[in-house]
Amino acid sequence: MAACGESVYVIGGWSGCSGLSLCESYNTDTQTWSPIADLNVGRSQVAVCALDDGRIVAAGGSDAWNCTNTVEVYDPQANKWSLLPSLALARRGAGVTCFNSKSLL
């Protein structure tokens, strides 16, 4: 989960069988949920943070039982997730934060 501007983003999750690619945003002004673009890689226990420019980074997580090293960035203007270079080591349940306009895992 990440907050940016007037929106809160819920990224991926767990269906009971596999990691989800579904994502949603909650508009705090209108108090409504809206679907956004799906992740390229479904995942749960993903590390998520909002960058200063409004993009959202999702790193690592678990696809089903396996940790993943994939990293994606969401552009809310384009409503699109794009893959970034992978992590050196697959992980789930990690933390990520934004520091000097860059995400750090």
pLDDT at 38 over 90: yes
Residue 30 has, within 13 A of its CA and on its CB side, a CA count of 7
Find all residues with CB under 8 Å of 10, minimum gap 6, and list them. 1, 23, 24, 25, 26
Which pair of tokens denotes residue 67? 């940790």
Residue 33 belongs to domain spanning: 2-95
Closest alpha carbon to 72 in 17, 64, 27, 63: 63
**How many domains, in total, are found in the chain?**
1
pLDDT tens per residue across span 15-34: 988 899 999 999 999 999 99
d(CA 75, CA 68): 21
Task: Report the pLDDT value the prediction gives residue 96, as an integer from 0 to 100.
Answer: 81
Give domain status of residue 105, yes or no: no
Using DSSP's 3-state secondary structure scheme, residue 104 falls into: strand
69-98 pLDDT, tens digit per residue, is 999 999 999 999 999 999 999 999 888 877
Q: Does residue 104 fall inside a structural domain? A: no
